[in-house]
Amino acid sequence: MSKSDLLSSVQSLKRLIGNSDSEENDTELIALFDNCMQLRDHIENSTLSSNDNELQGAISVCAKGFEKCTVMVNELELFSCNETAEELQTASIRYLLLPVLLGSLNLNIQNKDMSERMKNVEIAEVYFRDFLRRCSDYELGETSLKYFKEILDKENSNGINSDPTFVRERKIQQYKLRKELENREKSLKPALQRPESEEYIRQYYFVLLEKWILIAVDELENLKREKDILKSMPKKADISASTTQEKKTNVVPLKPFIITKDALQKEVFGLGYPSVPVLTIDDFYRQRFEKMVEEQKQNKKGESLQDAAFAGTGFNKEDEDIQKEELIEKDDPISLMKARQWDDWKDENPRGSGNRYNKG
């Protein structure tokens, strides 16, 4: 299947999804479902890598289309809880496939981490179980459904029929039955092009449903194993991290220590909390500088040494003495008067005269 066919099918389905906001009707539902099935076939037969962005986009669009079909089926009330398989309208039988198709698509979604994968696995499991129970209610595919009943019995009785020989034999039977159903599906499919062949069309969809019952049963068993693996992975990661930490007890880890903005964050995150970098070192020093400048403007009352230090004037005693000598040499009257007063004060107050015990 070419990439252009895939993209063309995606665009066609997008238009149908966008135009399906009007009042629902059978014709619109048929067109939407058929386009979803066509896109799903393109996805299944695509040669693109499973994590290709365009393929993943196609899976997402296809799932949205099937979800829209489900909403329309519910609003049109196509199924009743008290009807039998014989009472189902031929055109409505195909819509019983919606849950299992959605479950299958969810398993094809590629996830970046294990938690997202676990969510998809759980959603797919819900879809598969809903599909199987619905088929059981209509008594469809009794031969295939017996395997689902075995799963339920196993869950209720904690491991009944877990003998490897029995499991292998059951797998062989499932494989043979699935091949038989696929052959019948191929032989009946041409009847879809002949609307007058209603009986063959009904048989085709019943065969298709039974084939998907086998697929759903097989997927449920696979999902159980995958869930067990996913649940155990965090524990393995914790053990691995603990072992690595013990081996590196003498190594100081490189952590992106940060400066938190307030005391509340220090209490919540702790000093050096690495996950939320709330303030960079540059921001911290810029805030400190701005705060210092603001305090200088508010508290400046004189040219004290402390003020000068904050203001950056850099008072220097040697510079002050040199300045005084230069003024005296220029016969500056004010400087001369201050110098004489200072000399007189020193004569009247000799060194040590302030010591009342005269201990100079």
Identify the top-confidence range among 184-198, 265-279, 295-309, 324-338: 184-198
pLDDT-derived band at 79 (thresholds 50, 70, 90) equals confident
Residue 22: what pLDDT?
Answer: 53
Tell me how far CA of residue 10 lies from CA of 42, 57, 75, 102, in angstroms: 10, 9, 25, 16
Tell me how far CA of residue 341 lies from CA of 323, 327, 336, in angstroms: 18, 16, 9
Q: What proportion of the chain, given as a percentage, has pLDDT over 70?
A: 64
Q: What is the pLDDT of residues 282-293, one digit of tens each?
A: 554 556 567 666
Q: What is the pTM of this model?
A: 0.63
Residue 261: what pLDDT?
Answer: 39
Does the pLDDT value for residue 303 go beyond 70? Answer: no
Does the pLDDT value for residue 251 go beyond 60? Answer: no
Residue 170: what pLDDT?
Answer: 81
Does the pLDDT value for residue 230 go beyond 80? Answer: yes
Mean pLDDT of the chain: 76
Residue 309: what pLDDT?
Answer: 46
pLDDT-derived band at 329 (thresholds 50, 70, 90) equals low
pLDDT-derived band at 266 (thresholds 50, 70, 90) equals very low
Residue 199: what pLDDT?
Answer: 92
Residue 90: what pLDDT?
Answer: 93
Who wins on pLDDT, 161 or 16?
16
Residue 4: what pLDDT?
Answer: 87
Hey, CA dihedral for 117, 118, 124, 128, is it positive or negative? positive
Does the pLDDT value for residue 58 go beyond 80? Answer: yes
Who wins on pLDDT, 196 or 323?
196
pLDDT-derived band at 214 (thresholds 50, 70, 90) equals very high
Q: What proportion of the chain, given as a percentage, has pLDDT over 90?
A: 34
Residue 305: what pLDDT?
Answer: 45
Question: Distance (Å, rounded) from C-alpha 109 to C-alpha 59?
Answer: 7
Does the pLDDT value for residue 180 go beyond 90? Answer: yes
Q: What is the pLDDT of residues 106-132, one digit of tens each?
A: 999 998 888 889 999 999 999 999 899
